[in-house]
Every structure is written in structure tokens, then in C-alpha cells.
């Protein structure tokens, strides 16, 4: 088991997804939000949450840190990484949308129970550091999201470098590195299958 500390997530990190959310991807510096460590779950089920009628999937590569610090250089970033997993940043999109409109924080939309299903963590010593390769999500066998890790606006190393200027990173921290285009709503009974070439797969049943 990987001992979790904090969960950081980057917003709008693939240009096509930023555009589908109504933003210009070229002008924005990176920004981050957090989920709670116990929002990460590995049991393959996602309970449809309360108070939302529009819950979206977002397939993302998760990066697990085994070292940290402040002001980590891009060159040193990879030495902090323990491994990688396929994860979902499940989102109560209607509540996130209301928060955005009112200039309020995103927690009610993003940081709810079991909002971050994750697959097994694969150590970098076994799989290396995936920086290109297809990232995709199928909903009930139909392809919904497709992209490539190389399309990240801010690379994994740049994300670690930037985060470490704002926060002291430490072993156990996890970074969800953003989602490609094609996000959409789930219903109870859906089967979500996420894949990242060179990392692995995740299967999650919406219950």
C-alpha cells in the first residue's frame, strides 16, 4: 500500500480540454486544487455522489512522490517520483460550475468521498517515466476521451517544480496531471475503463 499524504490536481492541462471548458489554454499559468487523501480509492467502484445531477469522469495520470522539498528544479523533479497510476478525477460538474460562477472554491465539486478512483501504482524503476503515449477512457465500451501524455501544457516535471514553489512537497504526495478532451457525465451502472500506454489500466463501476 502506498502511504498517502496530499493530493494535488492541476486544472486545464490539455489544450483541447481547456477549450471544451470554454478557456483559452495558451494564456494561463498552471493552477492547482486539492482533493483529500481519503478521496483516493482503489476498490473499483465509484458511488454516485449526493447533491449532483451532472457527475463527470476525467481520466488522468497520477504521479506518486517518494521525496519532496521546496523549490525543486525541473532537472531534479524525476528523482522525487516513486511511480505512476491511472486515476480518475471525478467531478460534480454542476456544483463546480456554480462555484466558478460565484468565485467560490471548488471543494464541493472536486473533493468529495471516493472522487479519485485509482489503479495500482507502478514504480518508475519498472516502467520508467512515461512522457508520451495514449491516454483514453471508454464508457460502457464506447471511447469518450483520447489524448496523448505529450499534449500536457505543463509537463509532469514542470508541475512538480511549480508546486514546490508554493508548497513543501513530501513523500506520499500525489499529483493528478490533468485530463484530455472528451469529459462527460456518468450514470449508475456505467463501466469506466481508463488506459494509459506504458502505465496501465483502471476499471471502475458506477454504483
Site residues for Mn ion per CB under 5 A: 58, 89, 179
Minimum distance from CB of 89 to Mn ion (Å)? 3
Q: Which is nearer to Mn ion, 162 or 179 (CB)?
A: 179
Minimum distance from CB of 60 to Mn ion (Å)? 6
Minimum distance from CB of 96 to Mn ion (Å)? 10
DSSP, residue by residue, 123-156: EHHHH----SSEEEEEETTEEEEEEEGGGBSS-H
Q: Which is nearer to Mn ion, 145 or 179 (CB)?
A: 179
Under the phi-then-psi rule, with left for phi > 0, alpha for psi from -120 to 50, and beta for the rest, what region is 187? beta
Instruction: Point out which residues pair with 8 in neighbouring strands.
Output: 34, 175
Q: Which is nearer to Mn ion, 139 or 179 (CB)?
A: 179
- Non-local (6+) Cβ contacts of 19 within 8 A are 25, 181
Residue number closest to Mn ion, CB atom: 89
Secondary structure string (H, E, C) spanning 65-78? ECCCECCCCHHHHH
Q: Which is nearer to Mn ion, 58 or 173 (CB)?
A: 58
Minimum distance from CB of 20 to Mn ion (Å)? 12
Amino acid at each position: 500500500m502506498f502511504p498517502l499524504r496530499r493530493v494535488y490536481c492541476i486544472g486545464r492541462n490539455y489544450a483541447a480540454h481547456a477549450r471544451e471548458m470554454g478557456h483559452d489554454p495558451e494564456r494561463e499559468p498552471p493552477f492547482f486544487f486539492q482533493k483529500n487523501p481519503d478521496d483516493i480509492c482503489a476498490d473499483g467502484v465509484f458511488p454516485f455522489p449526493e447533491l449532483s445531477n451532472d457527475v463527470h469522469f476525467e481520466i488522468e495520470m497520477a504521479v506518486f512522490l517518494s521525496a519532496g522539498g521546496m523549490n525543486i528544479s525541473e532537472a531534479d523533479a524525476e528523482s522525487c517520483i516513486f511511480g505512476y497510476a491511472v486515476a480518475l478525477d471525478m467531478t460534480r460538474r454542476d456544483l463546480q460550475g456554480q462555484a466558478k460562477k460565484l468565485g467560490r472554491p471548488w471543494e464541493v465539486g472536486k473533493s468529495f468521498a471516493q472522487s479519485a478512483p485509482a489503479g495500482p501504482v507502478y514504480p518508475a524503476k519498472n516502467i520508467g517515466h512515461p512522457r508520451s503515449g495514449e491516454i483514453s477512457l471508454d464508457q460502457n465500451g464506447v471511447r469518450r476521451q483520447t489524448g496523448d501524455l505529450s499534449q500536457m501544457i505543463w509537463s509532469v516535471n514542470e508541475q512538480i517544480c511549480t508546486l514546490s514553489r508554493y508548497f513543501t512537497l513530501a513523500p506520499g504526495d500525489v499529483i493528478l496531471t490533468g485530463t484530455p478532451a472528451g469529459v462527460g457525465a456518468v450514470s449508475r451502472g456505467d463501466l469506466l475503463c481508463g488506459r494509459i500506454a506504458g502505465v496501465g489500466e483502471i476499471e471502475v463501476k458506477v454504483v
